[in-house]
Amino acid sequence: MKSIIKLFSILILGITVLFPDFASAQSIVKGIVKRNNGDPVSHATVAIRGTNVSVSADENGVFSINSRQEPPFYLQISSVGYQPQDFQVLRLQEEAFEFVLLESSLLDEIVVTSRRRSEVLQEVPIPISVIGGTQIEQSGAFNVNRVKELIPSVQLYTSNPRNTGINIRGIGSPFGLTNDGLDPGVGFYVDGVYYARPAAATIDFIDVERIEVLRGPQGTLFGKNTSAGAFNIITRKASFIPEASFESSFGNYGYIQAKASISGPLSNKFAARLSFSGTQRDGLIDNVKTGNAINDINNLGLRAQLLYKYSENLSITLAGDFTDQKPDGYAQVVAGVAPTLRPAYRQFDAITADLGYALPSLNAFDRKIDHDTPWRSGNQLGGVSLNVDASVGPGTLTSTTAWRYWNWDPSNDRDFTGLQALSKSQNPSKHKNWSQELRYAGELSSNLSGVIGLFYMDQEVKTTGTEESGSAQWRFSKNSTSPLWETPGLFEGYGIYTNASIKSQSAAVFASLDWQVVEGLHVLPGVRFNYDKKDVKYDRIAKGGLDIEASNYTATEKAELQKIKNGVYSSQQYVADADENNFTYQLTIAYKPSRRINAFATYSTSFKPVGVNVAGLPTVNGEAATDLAVIKPEDTKHYELGIKTTPTDNLTLNFTLHNSDIKDYQTNVQSAELGVNRGYIANAEKVNVKGIEFDGNIKVNQYFSFYGAAAYTDAKYVRFTNAPLPLEETGLTVDGVQVAFKDISGGVLPGVSKWAGSLGGEFAIAAKSVGKDVKFFIALDDSFRSSFSSSSSPSTYLNIDGYTILNARTGFKAPYGLSGYIWSRNLLDKNYFEQLLPAGGNAGHFAGVLGDQRTFGITLRYDF
């Protein structure tokens, strides 16, 4: 796959230098370019979109251009100090056309479709942040992990693609390891299709037009329930006007990325678009045992669209996508050792001393490991969708049918050392789902608009897991002074072999209205009815290691040996099912006293569906705690006050206050038992999340523009009396009885910083280059977050210090033709952790997911 990416990269680089001229036929267009006050725009650049044909207007804004093709086609007109614009020419005429350019000193009016219709962002009574495709293209490698650096309310944590969680305002997915039995609380949509697996957050964005991030419950607008918010990702569509873009990037650590997209008509009714992305990078962590650098990048992505436009009132789009990731990576580095309350011989330092072992480095940021089990994170996602848009009456009827799949092929070294404690740890999974959404949206009357929809999804996840012990397992698991722990071969090859599956169905009907009661005053009610059903089968067999019955030990010794083995791993089987229906609603009051102010207040309720455990259950007196197999749904009551303002045409300032009270919060619980894969899910009785958000943009003049965003979030367990012990309290006993749980009411939620912010700016100056309008620019963006807990129960040792990341880019950009820029991420080479994770068995050592060190590169792009 790496050789394919290199080949495409070289090919695309060549295209940016040697490119074809698509033009053919001959037709003359005459025109005048003017400002919005009627004055001429001197020396504007006029080009035929999809070709290399261009001219410059004279000092009076007059031009004449030979299009070399018959209408319809587009003229691209740009000039220093004005926004580049496309104008469609439907027919030729003798008299000159008049074209009006908007001055770039005014802020762009960003149009979003989050409410299932096109609206100006500042007029939507929902907290929404938008990241445009241009910003994505100029930032180097870009996926959801970069979004959190631009939108402070977003948190993303990933120790590998499967164990990925997206949170908004600290809620959405349990912090830590992912459990397939829970639904994400943050919806992830691409062109209206719901992506059910959190691994989608790790893929490179392909041909994205914009990303809309909605904060707060959105169950009355989207098919799948989104109790914490939603990512609404819109890709570029197939076009009847020929267009193409080619991009190639090169950077340190062997970074190479190639992207290409081409679109155009196949006939007068059909158009197509094909997009490709390939990324590779060498590893950032050295494995001193193998001599290889790991945690590399090795990604391929394809996306294809076929558009059938029967008429202006009916269009059908068939789309397909495929992503294949084969990194040698996602290894974690030992970040520290916490003393536990277990006996001295069960502490990590004592264990490693007995085994004659020392870590390759005591400093995680030396980026050295000696892992003896390969790290593999094979991640494949893809699917097809059919979207039909039909104008019916005053609105649009939309049908979206989709089938998607996910294949997960991992290998992990879960003891995080060069010792053979765990020789294998892998849970390959296969997922497939199909979904159907049907909705009607539009302006129902002059003062009433809305959306009503139906949604159904059927999905299944199958997992075949393997976890095996190695030669050092006896010392890590040893919990008594019995010499039988040292029995040769007792644990080698001993492990658990799992077959598990979850089948689930989800159905909903939802509706939202926007009623303008009087001029400027809007009432927006919304309702949703959910039905969710889940069936889980879990079958785990413990086997291997020493064949005790065939050994020469006495009956008493055999019984004790078997008890020792069962204390490490045991067979476990259970079948569980759950179904749940619920009714949720919301009410928003919005008031727009003028075009510059939009204030709103929202009250909403939300449910996160019932959950089921499918990663093993803790044991009580040697038996699986099956009462934990089914997890109650979350019940959220949410309040929000917001105001969006545009004090001047070049300034926006927005503020939001929010509060969420969550009953039966679904949380990830860490366990010292190896057999529960370090985590299972449970309910915390009550959680509260509240905070304040700010975002603003200002375009000072045609040269300088700035943006800023900040979030204060206070997220706490109001009541959680049955929480797991923090790492350092493992082994706690009271009156000789071991304690397994703790009351952490009042403690902070993991993964949530009190303060987070982003700040950025750009200096751009327009100029002429080879007869075309370009802009030379320098841009910086900075993201900050304060310290946060990296443990489901607050821990002294599993806290991550706050950090600031500075990114930069500089170069030149053009609306068409050649663009180029140099970029750097983590410019100041800040060392920081993204996550801290206790090792399996809780011997006291914990590992860190490291943030990338400084990376930099150059990108060349050519747009036809």
Residue 134 in this model has a pLDDT that exceeds 50: yes
- How far apart, in Å, are the Cα atoms of 164 and each of 185, 199, 616, 841? 13, 6, 19, 22
- 546-556 pLDDT per residue, tens: 999 888 889 99
Q: Which residue has the higher pLDDT, 835 or 768?
A: 835
The CA distance from 353 to 351, in Å, is 5
Mean pLDDT within 595-605: 94
Which residue from 828, 838, 836 is spatially nearest to 800, judged by alpha carbons? 836
Q: What is the pLDDT of residue 797?
A: 95
- 329-363 pLDDT per residue, tens: 899 999 999 999 999 999 999 999 999 999 999 99
Residue 5 in this model has a pLDDT that exceeds 70: no
- DSSP alpha helices (H): ranges in 138-225? 144-150
- 770-813 pLDDT per residue, tens: 666 788 999 999 999 999 999 888 999 999 999 999 999 999 88
Chain mean position to CA 55 = 43
Task: Pick from 204-218, 522-536, 572-586, 808-822 the range whose average pLDDT is largest.
Answer: 522-536
- 99-129 pLDDT per residue, tens: 988 765 545 567 777 777 777 788 888 888 8
For residues 635 and 607, the answer to whether their CB atoms sit within 8 Å is: yes
Q: What is the pLDDT of residue 24?
A: 40
The CA distance from 177 to 425, in Å, is 14
For residues 848 and 680, the answer to whether their CB atoms sit within 8 Å is: no
How many CB atoms are located within 10 Å of the residue 257 CB?
A: 26
The pLDDT confidence band at residue 284, using thresholds 50, 70 and 90, is very high
Residue listed under structure tokens 């927006």: 524
Chain mean position to CA 519 = 39
E runs forming strands in 700-844? 704-719, 723-724, 733-734, 737-738, 741-742, 755-769, 772-785, 788-789, 799-800, 803-813, 817-825, 833-838
Residue 390 in this model has a pLDDT that exceeds 50: yes
Q: Which residue has the higher pLDDT, 838 or 177?
A: 838
For residues 211 and 154, the answer to whether their CB atoms sit within 8 Å is: no
The strands making up 208-215's β-sheet, listed across from edge to edge, are 128-132, 208-215, 229-235, 186-190, 193-194
Residue 569 in this model has a pLDDT that exceeds 90: no
The pLDDT confidence band at residue 70, using thresholds 50, 70 and 90, is confident
- 725-760 pLDDT per residue, tens: 899 998 888 888 888 788 999 999 999 999 999 999
Residue 650 in this model has a pLDDT that exceeds 50: yes
Which residue from 226, 200, 199, 195 is spatially nearest to 213, judged by alpha carbons? 226
CA angle 505, 128, 639 (to 5 degrees): 75
Residue 674 in this model has a pLDDT that exceeds 60: no
Q: What is the pLDDT of residue 20?
A: 41
- How far apart, in Å, are the Cα atoms of 122 and each of 169, 192, 513, 642, 654? 21, 22, 18, 11, 9
Cα four-point dihedral sign 205, 211, 214, 215: positive
Q: What is the pLDDT of residue 551?
A: 86
The pLDDT confidence band at residue 19, using thresholds 50, 70 and 90, is very low
Residue listed under structure tokens 């545009």: 646
For residues 352 and 362, the answer to whether their CB atoms sit within 8 Å is: no
What is the residue type of 136?
I
Is the previous residue joined to 72 through a cis bond, with omega within 30 degrees of 0? yes
Residue 14 in this model has a pLDDT that exceeds 60: no
What percent of the chain clears pLDDT 90, i.e. is strictly above it? 52
CA angle 237, 238, 240 (to 5 degrees): 130
For residues 809 and 823, the answer to whether their CB atoms sit within 8 Å is: yes
| Average pLDDT of every residue of the chain | 87
Q: Which residue has the higher pLDDT, 681 or 325?
A: 325
The CA distance from 191 to 387, in Å, is 9
What is the residue type of 645?
T
- CA gyration radius for the chain? 29
Residue 47 in this model has a pLDDT that exceeds 70: yes
Q: What is the pLDDT of residue 841?
A: 77
Mean pLDDT within 29-53: 83
Residue 676 in this model has a pLDDT that exceeds 60: no
The pLDDT confidence band at residue 575, using thresholds 50, 70 and 90, is confident
Q: And the tokens for 248? A: 């190639």
- 228-250 pLDDT per residue, tens: 898 888 899 998 878 889 999 99
Residue 82 in this model has a pLDDT that exceeds 80: no
The pLDDT confidence band at residue 11, using thresholds 50, 70 and 90, is low
Residues across the chain = 864
- 439-459 pLDDT per residue, tens: 999 888 889 999 999 999 999
The CA distance from 222 to 183, in Å, is 15
The CA distance from 321 to 195, in Å, is 12
Chain mean position to CA 553 = 55
Look at residue 346 and give its three-state secondary structure. helix
- 189-198 pLDDT per residue, tens: 999 999 988 7
Q: And the tokens for 314? A: 């009916």
Mean pLDDT within 658-673: 80
The CA distance from 401 to 391, in Å, is 18
The CA distance from 735 to 398, in Å, is 65
Residue 679 in this model has a pLDDT that exceeds 70: no
The CA distance from 684 to 505, in Å, is 25
Q: What is the pLDDT of residue 863?
A: 84
Q: What is the pLDDT of residue 677?
A: 47
Segment holding 17, helix H or strand E: helix 2-17
The pLDDT confidence band at residue 541, using thresholds 50, 70 and 90, is very high
